[in-house]
Amino acid sequence: MTIASVGGTPPAVSRSPAEAPPTPVWSAPTPKKPVSTGFVLGVIVLCVLSFVFLLVLGYVIISIGPVAALICGIIALIPLTVVLLVVRLIDRWEPEPRGALWFAFLWGSAASVALALLVDAGVQILVYVASDGQAVPSDVFGAVVQAPIVEESAKGLGVLLIFLVLRRTFDGPVDGLVYAATVAGGFAFTENILYFGSSLIEGGGVSLGVTFALRGIMGPFAHVMFTSCTGIALGFASRRRGFWPVAGLFLVGLFCAMLLHALWNGSTVVADGIEGFLFAYAVIQVPLFVLAIVGVVLLRRAEARLTRARLTEYQEVGWFVPAEVDMLSTGIGRRSATAWARRQPVPKTKQMRRFIHDSTALAFTRQRLITGRNRIGVEQQESDLLAAVVADRAAPLAG
């Protein structure tokens, strides 16, 4: 199947949208879509997760008290906001569905926390029964072994569910990173409330300040870095076919997440005082954080290259002009086009952003077809996006 055979005859184009978007020869009407079964199931799942979140919130209130929960919940919003803003920045190139991001956040803040708490309670009961009530689980074992295995498995399960259910929109490592970071941000939010509350109750404001500095300032992205290993691995798996490559990459990513988590917790356990912790932080965690930043930049550049490559194929058969491909495949070009739309007598910012969004979705849809992920509906999705791009191109010039 060639690109030219999809969606009819490509429209004639001649000018860059940064100057004056070309007028299409035709535009397809957008039929009203009925409510799908998937949408209904998605709403039900989000409602269930919201209920689980309320249960976890009730556990938090019982554990640390309503006043401490309120105070520490507000404080925990600070690192959460930072994490979500960074995730949004990473996700700007090819945004993920909002419903999927809500699922990721609720899974992290509710389901994964509930699973971790249940397993922790189970381990304590087993140790108590096995020792006839004479022993409790070791704090070192809990921090360095149990927590990394249980927590990363619980968070990774959420990312895996998104991968399996939304494989159609799970396009690569950046998508996996975004979903994993959102899950991890939700998990850290709930965990921070518990840690902050315990510090406030046991040591007052000074202890709370120290805990906030360690978790909210020095380590707000700790869980994000751990779980991102799983998400990025699943992102690479999304470009493979077959069960074993996907399973293998998932397990590798999950193992790396557990290893980083254990390394982080281990550095806090073996550190001798605040000086020892700061030394371990500078030697181990700072380089890992810098490496993570470099990795994100490289992944974003790979997304831009993929967008250019796929849209160039459409350009060759007349769906885009070269100036449009340049604009759509660079951050500077996108910002220039959006600024142009904003300066019009009647601002057309939303219309230009829709053009950019649909064109990017078209590029990644084409990538799925090329890599063999040609399932039922993907060709129709490509055809629909081509029609949408034609209509989007005309919108900024409409009166």
DSSP per-residue string spanning 307-359: HHHHHHHHHHTTSS-HHHHHHHTSHHHHHHHHHHHHTSSS--HHHHHHHHHHH
Whether pLDDT at 276 is above 50: yes
Query: Are the C-beta atoms of 40 and 355 separated by less than 8 Å?
Result: no
Q: What is the reported pTM?
A: 0.87
245 and 302 co-located in one domain: no
Residue 260 covered by a domain: yes
Whether pLDDT at 216 is above 60: yes
Residue 50 covered by a domain: yes
Query: Are the C-beta atoms of 238 and 172 separated by less than 8 Å?
Result: yes
Write out the two tokens for 43.
Answer: 């709403």
Whether pLDDT at 19 is above 60: no
336 and 263 co-located in one domain: no
187 and 304 co-located in one domain: no
113 and 212 co-located in one domain: yes
Least confident of 44-58, 191-205, 310-324, 367-381: 367-381
- Residue 79 belongs to domain spanning: 37-270
Identify residue 337 by its one-letter amino acid code: A
Mean pLDDT of 65-79: 96
Residue 383 or residue 253, greater confidence: 253
Least confident of 109-118, 128-137, 244-253: 128-137
pLDDT tens digit sequence for 172-205: 999 999 999 999 999 999 999 999 999 999 989 9
139 and 238 co-located in one domain: yes
pLDDT bin (cut points 50, 70, 90) of residue 143 is confident
Residue 211 covered by a domain: yes
Mean pLDDT of 124-141: 74
Q: How many CB atoms lie within 10 A of CB 391?
A: 19
Residue 264 or residue 255, greater confidence: 255
Residue 221 covered by a domain: yes
Query: Are the C-beta atoms of 371 and 239 separated by less than 8 Å?
Result: yes
239 and 307 co-located in one domain: no
Tell me how far apart the alpha carbons of residues 204 and 224 are, in angstroms, rounded to a whole number: 28
Whether pLDDT at 377 is above 90: no
Across the chain, what does the average pLDDT equal? 86
Query: Are the C-beta atoms of 360 and 337 separated by less than 8 Å?
Result: no
205 and 136 co-located in one domain: yes
Q: Which of 293, 290, 269 is nearest to 280 (CA)?
A: 269
DSSP 35: P
117 and 262 co-located in one domain: yes
Whether pLDDT at 342 is above 60: yes
Residue 176 or residue 10, greater confidence: 176
